[in-house]
Structure 1
Amino acid sequence: MNRTLAALSLAAVFALPAGAQTLRYPVKTVDFDIWCTEIQRLSWQRCDERRKDDVTKFEAYRHTVEKYEIPYLRNKENVIHFDDAIFGYDPVDKRPDSTVARPPSPVAGE
């Protein structure tokens, strides 16, 4: 019993990164009706039939889109962080905060 529980918990740990990746990057999936009518430009009557070959083509299309969506979103996020690192953290444009010592005033030294 303990070995089974340990094996299940270990399997759950390895399954988490894949699920976390889809939660971090919101992958937009296309629904069959939109794919059929707008992307394939088939008639709505044929789309309502949901033929087996149409469903197979849709699954292949969706798999291809999702395969490229996560790397695209990851790259987009990296570009945003890079821009923030370059343009957002410029020490010249930062105002001094309370931890920065101010130089002595020339009037106070007299």
Structure 2
Amino acid sequence: VFNWGDPVIGVHRTYLSSNIRPGVIWSNTQSYSNAKVDELLAKAGVERDAEKRKGLYREFQKIVVDEAPIVFLNLLPYYTIYDATLKNLPLTIWGACAPVDEMRR
């Protein structure tokens, strides 16, 4: 599941029952439906306490690992290589997709 640093952006759309859209990319194409998963994701998406949020996602992960609605066949790591003389590099979760307008030598 491609994710942009926060599960609300990538994970939710892949597992929520309300986003079942067979054949539509970036949706719940596997037609996975679990009321408890929907409840956990709804709560985690609005939870402001980091520890509570972590617990909600941990419980969610246990369910989807057990039920395996998606089987990951490979993992593609993303590496960022840069020249050591560059300053103000975008070293955030956005990686190479981040703006580089403040980068300098």
Query: Which TM-score applies when normalising by structure 2?
Result: 0.26
Q: State the structure with more CA Rg.
A: 1
- Structure ranking higher on relative contact order (CA contacts 8 Å, 6+ apart): 1
Query: Which TM-score applies when normalising by structure 1?
Result: 0.25
